Structure 1
Amino acid sequence: MTAPVYVVLGAGPGLGLFTARRFAEAGHRAVLLGQSVEQAQPLADQLVSEGFEAEADAVDLLDEADVRRAVAAVVDRHGRVDVLHFNPSAWRERTVLELTVAELLEDVAFGVGALLPALQAAAPAMPAGARVLVTGSAAADTPWSGAPTLGVQKAAVRNLVTSIDATLSERGVRAVAMQVNGLLAKEGPFGAEAVSRALFAAATRPDEGWTAHVSYDG
């Protein structure tokens, strides 16, 4: 048996790295998919220097074919995906009087739509007990009018997770969106370390009593 595999899309030096570390501590091989190899490789190198198994690749989340390629490459290398973590969101400071339809749809494609090809590429290699994990936000319920596409993304991806969980549950794979009800910070209850541990806990719950949505209030 190979080690379980954790894949994070939208990997960065904050929550993406810390959550990858938390799963690595639990015995997972961490695959960090970032906006470029130059951005993601140092994150994987940091985990390797700490004694964990980790690797990195680039993915263009606005390119459906590239999302499929990146996740399929993980499946080809390791034969399995045990945790598929969808972490990205687009931040665009444009009020509704300035925002264009094209800008709105681009952000939704980035922060919601990219989950579909990632899931479709991973699903055949997700064994019973595997998890789809999505980083949510209070913006889903209380959006800021100065950057309205974030709220649209987080509300939409939370809704999508409901359908993913219902679709995959019959094969023993569950999905959860964890809504972070606070602003991410450098430390404290909304620091990356604390939130990453909450994400790990949300994804590793038993199937009994499973819910597709959980909240983290710090």
Structure 2
Amino acid sequence: MSRPVVVVVGAGPGVSASVARRFADEGYDVALLGQDQQVLDQLAADLGARGATVGHACVDVTDEQAARDAVRRFGEHTGRIDVLHFNPSAFREKDPLSLTVAELVEDVALGVGALLTTVQAARPFMSAGGRISVTGSMAADDPSERAASLGVQKAGVRNLVHSIDKTLSDDGIRAVSVTVRGALAREGAFTPDRVADAIWDAVATDDADWRSEVPYSG
């Protein structure tokens, strides 16, 4: 039987990299979608050294066709997608009086809309037991006025996860948003590795105990 496969959307050097490493250490092969080729190459080398087979694509996930094609290629190559992890969001330092509608829509297209694109592309390759996870944030409940669009993205993506979970649960596929209730740091409870551990724990939860939102408070 082939190894399970995780697709990490929005792969970069932070939480998403820690998620990729955690799943690789758990015996998963890894597919990476990101925008920085150098970061992707470095992460792929790290994951390969951990024993994972790694594929990666440098793509703007707000480009719907490019994102769909990349996920489809991964699925066709591996024959399966067991976990889709979604990490992207846009941090734009603008308050509600300076943020434009066009900027808000652009940010939501990344932080929320791209989840739709990648889930729809991954679905044909997912089966019962499959999981969709999202890096959530306390900004959904306690937004900063300095970055008004971020709270909208995180509230929106959490809401979308609830809908995805309800839609796919009859097929045995579940979705979860892990709400990180703290600021990422290099030490302590909110390092990227600790957040990745929380995401792994949420994904590994049995259906009987499943919740479509799991808070992580350290």
The corresponding residue for 1:109 is 109
SS in 2 for 1:6: strand
Give the AA of the match of 1:8.
V
SS in 2 for 1:103: helix
The corresponding residue for 1:39 is 39
SS in 1 for 2:146: coil
Give the AA of the match of 1:170.
D
1:15-164 aligned at under 5 Å gives the runs: 15-164=15-164
* Percent of matched pairs sharing the same residue: 52
* 4+ aligned runs moved over 4 Å, structure 1: none
1:209 Cα deviation (Å)?
2.4
1:55 Cα deviation (Å)?
2.5
The corresponding residue for 1:7 is 7
Q: TM-score, normalised by structure 1?
A: 0.97
SS in 1 for 2:136: strand
Q: Is the 8 A contact 2:24 2:51 kept in 1?
A: no
Partner deviation per Cα, 1:45-68 (whole Å, 9 max, x = no partner)? 111123332232112122111110
Q: Is the 8 A contact 1:45 1:55 kept in 2?
A: no
Q: TM-score, normalised by structure 2?
A: 0.97
The 2-side partners of 1:187 and 1:73 are apart by 37
Distance change >3 Å, CA 72–CA 181, structure 1 → 2: same
Q: Is the 8 A contact 1:15 1:193 kept in 2?
A: yes
1:36 Cα deviation (Å)?
3.3
Give the AA of the match of 1:11.
A
The 2-side partners of 1:55 and 1:187 are apart by 30
Q: Is the 8 A contact 2:25 2:50 kept in 1?
A: no
Q: Is the 8 A contact 1:79 1:125 kept in 2?
A: yes
SS in 1 for 2:143: coil
How many residue pairs match? The answer is: 218
Give the gaps of 5 or more residues in structure 2.
none
The corresponding residue for 1:180 is 180
1:123 Cα deviation (Å)?
0.5
Partner deviation per Cα, 1:145-182 (whole Å, 9 max, x = no partner)? 00010000000000000100000001100000000000
The 1-side partners of 2:14 and 2:4 are apart by 22
The 2-side partners of 1:76 and 1:49 are apart by 24
Q: Is the 8 A contact 2:178 2:214 kept in 1?
A: yes
Partner deviation per Cα, 1:23-77 (whole Å, 9 max, x = no partner)? 1111110111111333312111111123332232112122111110110010111
Partner deviation per Cα, 1:81-116 (whole Å, 9 max, x = no partner)? 100000011000011111110000000000000011
Partner deviation per Cα, 1:4-26 (whole Å, 9 max, x = no partner)? 10011111111111111111111
